[in-house]
Structure 1
Amino acid sequence: MPLYKTITPDSQTVVKIWKISESFDDLMQSVNLKPKSLERVLGMKSEMHQRGFLSVRCLLKAYGYEDVDLSYDENGKPYLKDGKYISITHSFNFSAVIISDAITGIDIEKQRDKIGVIAHKFIDYEFSYLNENTIDYVNKLTVIWCVKESLYKLFATPGLSFKQHCLVIPISDNEHETIAWIDYEDKKYRYQVQFLEFEGFTCAYAIK
């Protein structure tokens, strides 16, 4: 069972990361899916997405939950029937779940050069301190994307813009956390966001 990493940011929060090395069939055999989830996974055209979906159910088992304990609201935000907060992410061969007593969000992304092409779509203020000629430019862009995506999942408000409403404070070398803000409808919300990098991937998680 390739549980890759477990992180405990505080006494009420646990992050678990899964490295997806199993086949679709092996993953299917290791989880119990409710009918709606079975229909959903069988309807996916990409085996990579199917394996990502199933690996998240494996992570649920690692927490002591089953697929039946997980539901989604009208905006697609996941929630657990026991009232704990959950956020889910997967990218290529990694997936992650964060469960907390507090509202939370998590994101994993593969570090790829193409992020530089779309940077203008999700960055505004951050361009003031970024330098595209540095060797870690792609890594820093990926951290910023993951931070903003984790905030987006946490805030769960239609109309929230990565570029207009989310700001990430400069990240120092060798640091693994940063301050980020949501500036939305004349209100400002401050978050401490932690992140880590591994095997060409970045993961960030925010806790309210």
Structure 2
Amino acid sequence: MPLYKTITPNSQTTVKIWQITESYEELMQPITLTDICMARVLGMKSELHQRGFLSVRHLLAEFGYTDHDLFYDENGKPHLKDGKFISITHSYTFSGVIISDREVGIDIEKRREKIAVIAHKFIGYEGDYLEANADDYINKLTVIWCIKESLYKLFATPGMMFKHHFLVIPFMVKDEETVAWIDYEDKKYRYDTHFFEFESFTCAYVV
């Protein structure tokens, strides 16, 4: 089973990354899904999405959980029945799960040049320090996207916008950490964020 990486940011939090090398049949065989999740898998048109979904269930097993321990609220945010906090992500051939005693968010994205085309949709304050001609421009854009996606998953509030409500403080890619803020409805929330690059992917998580 290709458990790619395990990270323990603190004693209450664990991140696990899975490299999806198995076929749909291999991933499906050893696990049991709820009726709702089985219907979701069968309704997916892409086998890549099916394998990503199933690999998350294998990550749950690595934590000692099954699909029956997981449920989703009206905003689509996942929860564990034992009260611990969870966040889930998958992108192409990797998936990730973070579980903690505190609110968490995680995101994995494949680094691609085309993120520059949509940068105007999610870059606000960060435009003041980003340099479009810098060698690490695509890397930084991907980090910012992953951090903002992680924050969105953690906060799970409809109406929040990446460009206007999330701010990522200047950082160096090699530092693998920075500070981010949520500025929403006259309230400000500060978060320490962590990120790392692997293969051609970027992962960020927020606790």
Which whole-Å CA distance do the structure 2 matches of 1:176 and 1:35 have between them? 40
RMSD: 0.6
Q: Which amino acid aligns with 2:99?
A: I
Q: Distance in 1 between matches of 2:41 and 2:172?
A: 40
Structure-1 separation of matches of 2:122 and 2:194: 19
Whether 2:60 is the aligned partner of 1:86: answer no
Identity among equivalent pairs (%): 70
* Counterpart in the other structure of 1:54: 54
Structure 1 counterpart of 2:187, which letter? Answer: K
Residue 172 (structure 1) aligns with: 172
Moved over 3 A (4+): none
Say how many residue pairs are matched. Answer: 207
Q: Give the Cα separation in 2 of the matches to 1:173 and 1:73.
A: 34
Name the structure 1 match of 2:139.
Answer: 139
- Opposite residue 189 of structure 2, the aligned amino acid is Y
Q: Distance in 1 between matches of 2:34 and 2:120?
A: 41
SS across alignment from 2:144: helix
> Deviations 1:138-180 (Å, cap 9, x if unpaired)?
0000000000000001111111110000000011241010000
State whether residues 86 and 98 of structure 2, in contact with CA within 8 Å, keep that contact through their aligned partners in structure 1: yes
What is the alpha-carbon distance in structure 1 between the residues aligned to residue 74 and residue 125 of structure 2?
32
Unaligned runs of at least 5 residues, structure 2: none
SS of 2:44's equivalent in the other structure is coil
Q: Could you give the per-residue CA deviations for residues 80-102 of structure 1, whole angstroms, max 9, x where no partner exists?
A: 00000000000000000000000
My pick for the range that moved more, 18-27 or 128-137, is 128-137
Match of 1:105 in 2: 105
1:142 is paired with a residue whose SS is helix
| CA distance in structure 1 between the aligned counterparts of 2:28 and 2:93, rounded to whole angstroms | 16
Number of the residue aligned with 1:25: 25
Structure 1: state its 5+ residue gaps. none
Query: What is the letter of the counterpart of residue 57 of structure 1?
Result: R
Q: Which residue in the other structure is 2:162 paired with?
A: 162
TM superposition score normalised by structure 2 = 0.99
Counterparts of residues 197-208 of structure 1 (less than 5 Å):
197-207=197-207
Counterpart-to-counterpart distance in 2, 1:146 and 1:168 = 11
Question: Are the aligned partners of 2:139 and 2:173 in contact in 1 as well (CA < 8 Å)?
Answer: no
Which residue of structure 1 aligns with residue 193 of structure 2?
193
Partner of 1:37: 37
